[in-house]
Structure 1
Amino acid sequence: MIGTIIGDVVGSIYESKNRNTPSVFDEWFPKVRECRFTDDSVLTIAVADAIMQTEKKKDDKHFERFFKESLIDNFHYHSRQRSCSFEYRFLDWLIRRETRPYNSKDNGSAMRVSPIAYTSKTMEDVLDMAKLSAQVTHNNHKAIKGAQAVAAAIFFARTGHGKEEIRRFIEERFYKLSFTLDEIRPIYKYDISCNNSIPQAIVAFLEASDFEEAINNAISLGGGTLASIAGSIAGAYYPIPEYLRDKVLTYLTSEQTDIVLQFEKQYVCHFPFCRRELLSETLYWNA
């Protein structure tokens, strides 16, 4: 899930701003003091925390209830970070201490879903868990579809599948991807709906030749959340430069960093179908 956080932090200074430039990383270090983590990282870490807290209950017949309750508790707990802003309907949900969903169809369900893909062993599990993770707030079918599509793409990337397989699965089950970034960049406007952001983030990954290019592609369309989603998929497919990983972790609180590292230790480094094992003769590693 570190790819999500990197996309979030690097994209934070470009949120909703199209950047049709060769590389945002050329500008990133001079502007590094302006970067920050946002709600994308906060809620992704909350999902990871909920997964770890309910791991021992996975075989319980009431697991779905336990997991949803843990998600709600962790969303409220981790969102006490007032150094970042939240989407207004989610913020209202927090302030009211709500436990009921509010039928959102926005991409908040997808931006936080990446940990799900590392803890599920089958595509059926991935889709079921992604649905559960969305439903606690984003119970609209469009938001559920968005979360499932991103989780599925990450799972395929993690398990050694190629880009054409990923594209085919997404197009058969979720979204049409029959466009290029060059075609849509002049006319694309920042959009938080799943239907008008998830396909674009997935194509940003599909057109990339490495992790950094996936982030660049997403930011060229409009910044942070697109970069978070593209980064979540690219981080499962490509090696992540250590300088990025190390630098981005310094933006998090010590508690957040501990959760990220514990999650990686517990799930990412021991993933049963690890891409590193499947492609042992390549330069891929799993971060």
Structure 2
Amino acid sequence: MLGAIAGDIIGSVYERDNTKTKNFLLFRAESRFTDDTVLTVAIADAILNRSDYTDSLKRYHQRFPHVGYGGTFNAWAGSSSREPYNSWGNGSAMRVSPVAYAFEDLAAVLQEAQRTAAVTHNHPEGIKGAQAVAAAIFWARTGCSKAEIKTSVESTFGYDLSKSLDEIRPTYRFDVSCQGSVPQAITAFLEATDFEDAIRNAVSIGGDSDTIACIAGSIAEAFYQGVPEPIKDEIIIRLDQRLYDVVEAFQAQYGV
């Protein structure tokens, strides 16, 4: 989960000011956590306390109301509605990482990923995006190679991972759909040499930088078995204590 948060914080300053290079300052004074982090922690909290996902998402929205939520989610979370809104956006994929650690077999991971997505993102693409990310993290943390993860994602979810980042980067633009950002985030992980490189890869293609880096970081953390201490230290400085308390509790419970 810290890998997702790291990607979010690092990518936060590049979402509206895209860079197309890997040579950028990892942390800046204005680097901050956004809705990606808050909703990831909301999912972790619900898993820890066996509470309802809808209740948890709405509660965290109330606690952290100004962190860059999408317009539709913002309206839903602030309303009395408990009905999903058929989103295919990447919000379902950015918040799913805790699921891959809390469940011990792929079938359970996929089922729970669907549950976390469907409370808002009940469109098939929204559910697929969440499941693909959760599965990639699960495969990474259980010892699969990158080649195996790539093949499994393509065969299970139908994503085309054949394009390299060098092919993607020149023409890639802002795209908040799962189908237009999840494959790119997975590719950023697949081409990486280490955790930091995965984040740099993700940010370097432009687009929805914090979310793409959040997704890539969530998979990279599992594959590289953690987040480097210097990056972790920068994350902790920038996290609200209430969020970090949940992260620590989740790590203690599930051995992350």
TM-score for both structures, normalised by structure 1: 0.85
Alignment match, 1:77 = 59
1:1-287 counterparts in 2 under 5 A?
1-24=1-24, 27-29=25-27, 31=28, 33-54=29-50, 70-80=52-62, 81-174=64-157, 175-222=159-206, 223-238=209-224, 239-269=226-256
Deviation at 1:16, TM superposition (A): 4.4
Range 151-160 or range 14-23, more displaced: 14-23
Structure showing greater radius of gyration is 1
Indicate conservation of the 8 Å contact 1:45/1:259, yes or no.
yes
Q: Is the 8 A contact 1:12 1:37 kept in 2?
A: yes
Report how many aligned residue pairs link the two structures. 251
The answer to whether the 8 A contact 1:19-1:221 is kept is yes
Q: For 1:112-139, what per-residue CA distance to the aligned partner results, in whole angstroms no more than 9, with x for missing partners?
A: 0000000111110110000000000000
* Secondary structure of 2:33's aligned partner: coil
Deviation at 1:82, TM superposition (A): 2.6
Deviation at 1:253, TM superposition (A): 1.5
Q: SS of the residue aligned with 1:86?
A: coil
Deviations 1:123-158 (A, max 9, x none): 101100000000000000000000000000000000
Encode CA deviations 1:34-86: one digit per residue, 9 max, x unaligned.
Answer: 011000000000000000011xxxxxxxxxxxx5xx11111111112134121
Whole-Å separation in 2 of the counterparts to 1:16 and 1:142: 25
* Unmatched runs of 5 consecutive residues or more in structure 1: 55-66, 270-287
8 Å contact from structure 1 (residues 17, 221) kept in 2: no
Counterpart Cα distance in 1 of 2:202 and 2:16: 11
When the two structures are superposed, what TM-score results if normalisation uses the length of structure 2? Answer: 0.95
Q: Is the 8 A contact 1:190 1:221 kept in 2?
A: no
Give the 3-state SS of the residue equivalent to 1:194 in structure 2.
coil
- The one-letter code of the counterpart of 2:218 is S
Question: Could you tell me how far apart the structure 2 residues matched to 1:99 and 1:22 are?
Answer: 41
Output the CA distance in 2 between the equivalents of 1:170 and 1:120. 19
Distance 1:89 1:22 in 2: 32
CA distance in 1, matches of 2:195, 2:232: 12
Is the 1:16–1:224 contact (alpha carbons within 8 Å) kept by the matching residues of 2? Answer: no
- Give the Cα separation in 2 of the matches to 1:176 and 1:240: 28
Structure 2 residue ranges without an equivalent (≥5): none
